[in-house]
Amino acid sequence: MQPNYRCKKCKDEISRKTWKTSRLCRACWVANKPKRCIDCSIAIHKTTTQRRCRACYQKRYGRLRNERLERKTKSYTNCFECNKRLKRKYIKYCSRRCLYRYKKLRRRAAKANAVCFPVCRWTIYERDNFKCYICKIKVVTGGRNNNWKQATLDHVVPLHRGGHHAEYNLRCCCRRCNSKKNKRLLSEHLLIVGLEKEAQTSSREPVGNEIRSCL
């Protein structure tokens, strides 16, 4: 014979699971002033530490938790930095060099209080058709550091001015334009370049006039 499980207060029959958890029926358990969910005010057990019922807890944290697990278990084929074929699963960088490169950029973003997302630079190169967005030349990938056509990533809004390290704020840029732009905005950089060109043309014009007058 199966043993009868009864409530400690009213002695009504309860299930074995309820007897193991609280040893009280529903009516006695609610009358015992249990905790209330801070979202829907449903009675919850005293031992819960989340201050929410299971439905509200899953509604609040379930979606974020699932997205985080998907990011962890997502398998990539190529390195985010050098686009090499990855030899293992569930990693984003092929070597420590590529990983330290991302960590260095993350430290820069932390100093500027900016958000830093892991961005695949090759997707940005392909999006911009491997062209510099300032001078429109064809950039070179995998070249040496002294090559001025070497492909780099440039922040349209710099990190120290509130820009984030994300795909919408990154553009393909050659090393020469990236070093000239430095920590300025694109409008400031184009203004300086325009002033330099005007100064060069104005300095050449008098020489041409003098030659013509001599002739």
Based on the domain organization, do 108 and 40 belong to the same domain?
no
Q: What does the chain come to in residues? A: 215
Structural domain contains residue 188: no
Residue 198 phi/psi, 5-degree rounding, is: -65, -40
Based on the domain organization, do 173 and 103 belong to the same domain?
yes
Residue with tokens 């092929």: 94
Structural domain contains residue 198: no
Count: domains in the chain: 2
Strands 170-174 and 43-44 turn out to be unpaired
Based on the domain organization, do 87 and 66 belong to the same domain?
no
Structural domain contains residue 195: no
Based on the domain organization, do 114 and 63 belong to the same domain?
no
Q: Note the pLDDT of residue 22.
A: 78
Q: What angle do CA 179, 192, 115 make, to 5 degrees?
A: 50
Based on the domain organization, do 116 and 160 belong to the same domain?
yes
Q: Note the pLDDT of residue 199.
A: 84
- 17 token code pair: 């699971």
CATH number of the domain residue 142 falls in? 1.10.30
Based on the domain organization, do 40 and 55 belong to the same domain?
yes
Q: Note the pLDDT of residue 211.
A: 47
From first to last of the 215 residues of the chain, give the pLDDT tens digit: 456 888 888 888 888 888 887 788 878 877 776 678 888 888 777 677 778 888 888 787 777 777 766 666 667 788 887 778 888 877 888 888 888 888 888 888 888 888 888 788 888 999 999 999 998 999 988 766 678 888 889 999 998 888 888 889 999 999 989 888 888 888 888 888 888 888 888 776 655 555 455 44
Q: Note the pLDDT of residue 82.
A: 79
CA–CA separation, 215 and 204 (whole Å): 17
Based on the domain organization, do 45 and 62 belong to the same domain?
yes
Q: Note the pLDDT of residue 188.
A: 87
Q: Note the pLDDT of residue 1.
A: 45
Instruction: Evaluate whether 176 touches 193 at the Cβ level (below 8 Å).
Output: no
Domain membership of residue 178 as a residue range: 75-183
Q: Note the pLDDT of residue 115.
A: 86
